[in-house]
Amino acid sequence: MMLDDQGVTEEWIVRVEGREYGPANIETLREWKAEGRLLPANEARRADVDLWTTAAEIPGLFSVPPPLPVDRDEFQLRCRGLGEVFRKTWQIYRKGFLQFFSFSLVQAVPWFFLQLTLPSLDLASQTAAKLEAVRPSTFSLSMLVLFGLLWPVFLGGIQLTSIDVLNRRKPRLGNLFRRSLNLWPRMAGLSLLVYGSYFIWSAVPLVVAFDLVLSEPSTLALLLAASLLTLQVYMTARLWINFMFWQQTASLGQTSGLAALRESKALARSRRNEPWFDRPLYRGAIIFSIWLIAAFFISTAVQLPFVVVQLQGVGTFAEMQTTLQHLLSSGTPPPLLLGAYIASAVAQAAIRPLLGIAFVVLYLDSKLELPSHVEPIVRAGEGDAVR
């Protein structure tokens, strides 16, 4: 039993989804933790002190490595506006650009060769028999496997580099790769769970809906297909909310499996009593939308000059369509098209870390919103390489 300096049993009040529970002693809190009702990110305070912190800070409740401080002047946590999120994201990106770009290349290179070597299909002219005969090469399959194996390294590297920059430590590439490899089992397992859930709730309803429409084009079939597509949109949105911070809770919060997903869900749904633009859920949706639009326009702008040069001399829309189809269906892309692919891959590798960094900033803002005299913490530092 935990006693304070006066020999009195410490009791705590916790806040879960806006509701307060307690006072409860450490044994009761441990029971709630074992049942999954209490997570490290939940707010908590001693019953006799009106000072909220998190359940992770209750001594003896969650076994975690010693925390690393983050300079409060460097990272102002409370009520950070979106403009501040973007500013801090750019500062982190600029200071660790070489490391971020290196981790992006880890997954960008196999993905580039995978796209380059996949068999092209002309769906307008291929028969079903010919389509069935098309098979990806062994090299393409090996690039796909390599991409899948390296993706968790990329995810962990972005998180760890961001934390090193925030802690004003020089992010050394070799050390970052070693720590990212230590994170690989956890990140790989959660990647399978998260992306597998997206695939099931996105691809399966879509395939069934198209099968209903194509096989039985009736009013009932159309209604069923529309219902399935509505369910698909709803479930994908719910999954995105629940999985919003899974990369950060796994790599920075050092939680695994369902515990990481529960903490991610709790953080995404926190601050419900605040204006919508101060809630992590809406901020995350805005950040992701802006990044997606920016990535599309940057990729298009990089490839456009190559395509324009390739289409010189084409006079009609039909000729342009024929030329593009010939370029896409050719076994070996011409030099200009290959240059467009390379330029696009480099541009995507350069901008992809920005999304991960922004969510690290948002994660810290959501998780570590403490009073000004309480020192915020970030785990997963250099001295506690994740095992």
pLDDT (tens digit, 9 = 90+) per residue, 168-208? 878 788 889 998 998 899 899 999 999 999 999 888 888 88
pTM, full prediction: 0.70
The CA distances from residue 227 to 92, 178, 217, 220, 232, in Å, are: 44, 47, 15, 11, 9
Range of the domain at 26: 12-63
| One domain, residues 108 and 54 | no
| One domain, residues 160 and 52 | no
| One domain, residues 196 and 241 | yes
Lowest-pLDDT range of 68-72, 98-102, 188-192, 267-271: 68-72
pLDDT: which is higher, 36 or 77: 36
- pLDDT of residue 358 exceeding 90, the answer is yes
In whole angstroms, give the CA distance from residue 106 to residue 143: 12
Residue 277 forms part of a structural domain: yes
- pLDDT of residue 4 exceeding 70, the answer is no
pLDDT: which is higher, 103 or 381: 103
- pLDDT (tens digit, 9 = 90+) per residue, 47-61? 887 778 888 777 767
- pLDDT of residue 385 exceeding 50, the answer is no
Residue 69 forms part of a structural domain: no
Which residue's structure tokens are 């049993």?
Answer: 9
Q: What is the 3-state secondary structure (H, E, C) of 195-248?
A: HHHHHHHHHHHHHHHHHHHHHCCCHHHHHHHHHHHHHHHHHHHHHHHHCCCHHH
Residue 125 forms part of a structural domain: yes
pLDDT: which is higher, 326 or 350: 350
| One domain, residues 120 and 147 | yes
Q: Give the number of domains in the chain.
A: 2
| One domain, residues 24 and 105 | no
Q: Whose CA is closest to 277, among 140, 85, 96?
A: 85
| One domain, residues 111 and 58 | no
Mean pLDDT for the stretch of residues 63-70: 44
Residue 73 forms part of a structural domain: no
| One domain, residues 40 and 188 | no
| One domain, residues 196 and 114 | yes
| One domain, residues 17 and 157 | no
The CA distances from residue 46 to 135, 153, 294, 369, 371, in Å, are: 63, 39, 46, 17, 15
Residue 160 forms part of a structural domain: yes
Residue 268 forms part of a structural domain: yes
Q: What is the pLDDT of residue 170?
A: 80
CB atoms within 10 A of CB 184: 18
Residue 130 forms part of a structural domain: yes
Please give the distance of CA 296 from its chain centroid, rounded to a whole number. Answer: 18
| One domain, residues 55 and 93 | no
The CB-side HSE value for 315 (13 A sphere, CA atoms) comes to 0
In whole angstroms, give the CA distance from residue 376 to residue 371: 9
How large a percentage of the chain has pLDDT more than 90? Answer: 23
| One domain, residues 94 and 41 | no
315 band by pLDDT with thresholds 50, 70 and 90 = low
| One domain, residues 59 and 86 | no
